[in-house]
Amino acid sequence: MKKLNCLNWTAVCCAFLMQSVPAGETIQVTATIGMVGDVVRNVAGKHAEVRVIVGSDVDPHLYRPTRSDVVKMQRSDVIFYNGMMLEGKMGDVLVRMARRGKPVYAVTEEIAERGDYVILDEEEGLDPHVWMDVNGWMAAVKGIEKGLSEFKPELADHFQERAGAYVRELTRLDAYAREVLSSIPEEKRVLVTAHDAFSYLGRAYGLEVRGIQGLSTESEAGLRDIEDLIDFLVSKQIPAVFVETSVSDKNVRALVEGCRARGHHIVIGGELFSDAMGKAGTYEGTYIGMIDHNVTTIARALGGDAPDGGMQERVNYPPAL
């Protein structure tokens, strides 16, 4: 397990200048991705206005910040980002903001310091998709609470109370994910998706995970990779594979066609949220809704037992493909 020595700029971005805003004014927060922004909203409540840079159905691995994104960051009081190179193409902008005295926080900083927790790929480095393990993502809640409290210490008790309440909701979500995914027949507990974004979920909840592409969607899947996966799916008689909302479904559909050519009828079991949540204003546009949707969809497609509407009876299943 390597530490974050490959992310020297992260240490720079975590530097901040103590600031405050007048009592009663709303903190202006910019978050790079929806999963981070949703936690900020839950912890800050009415005391923060949160803008998210990378929207729904958009891949943060490939996203290049626009001029308007830079203006958003400049006008923000605080910036929160995931880290672990997820926002690689935004790295220079984040460094620049931190050097100008803007409070800039990587919410995975504390997670990355937890010894063996972080998954490391020998070729691609740190796996940034920590939000897929609900228990692990609770550490991000703590990091956001800490950042907001350092910026506005007079509201520290408020942030702590809201963070605690949100963690209790996540504890319930974690238990639900564990229950429904463990109901999948053991020989079918295989999750195949467009890219390798679900390793934390697989480790936490007992699924074997295979992605056609690597940790980043910038990596390319070769014909041999797809053929090997077809061999695997046919031999294991896995009933379903999954597409992702923020990644092209071309390679997944090639898997389905290849399996069917070999006499194995396999289906696309649903559309999963990987690097982006659902549209703003929807249940899947929240972190809890995103994970509820994912685990409910996976369990039902692979032969497990999950309620039609998920944990909160708000998941639309089966999803439209």
**pLDDT digits 0-9 by tens, 174-200:** 999 999 999 999 999 999 998 889 999
| Residue 131 shares a structural domain with residue 30 | yes
Structural domain tally of the chain? 2
Helix ranges (DSSP H) in the chain: 8-13, 34-44, 67-75, 91-99, 109-112, 134-151, 156-182, 199-205, 223-236, 250-261, 287-301
When pLDDT is cut at 50, 70 and 90, the band that residue 62 belongs to is: confident
At residue 270, φ and ψ (nearest 5 deg) are 150, 175
CATH number (domain holding residue 79): 3.40.50.1980
Confirm if 47 and 97 have CB atoms less than 8 A apart: no
Query: Residues 152, 238: one domain?
Result: no
What is the bridge-based pairing of β-strands 104-106 and 48-52?
unpaired
CA dist., res. 164 & res. 160, Å (int): 6
Average pLDDT over residues 199-226: 79
Domain that holds residue 194: 180-301
Pair (61, 170) in one structural domain:
yes
> In the structure, what pLDDT confidence band is assigned to residue 319 with cuts at 50, 70 and 90?
low
In a domain, 310, yes or no: no
DSSP state of 275: S
Please give the average per-residue pLDDT across 271-296, as a whole number.
Answer: 95
Residue 317 domain flag: no
Query: Tokens 């984040």 map to which residue?
Result: 94
Q: Is the pLDDT of residue 161 over 50?
A: yes
Same domain? 167 vs 189:
no
Tell whether 321 is covered by a domain. no
139, 159, 177: which is the final residue of a domain? Answer: 177
**pLDDT, greater one: 19 or 275:** 275
**19 φ, ψ (degrees, to nearest 5):** -135, 175
CA end-to-end distance (rounded Å), the chain: 38
- What average pLDDT score do residues 158-186 get? 98
Query: Is the model's pLDDT at 14 over the cut of 90?
Result: no
Q: Are residues 167 and 248 in the same domain?
A: no
What per-residue confidence (pLDDT) applies to 13? 37
Structure token pair of residue 15: 């530097």
Model confidence at 20, pLDDT cuts 50, 70, 90, reads very low
**pTM score of the predicted model:** 0.88
Let me know if residue 102 belongs to a domain: yes
Same domain as 172, residue 198: no
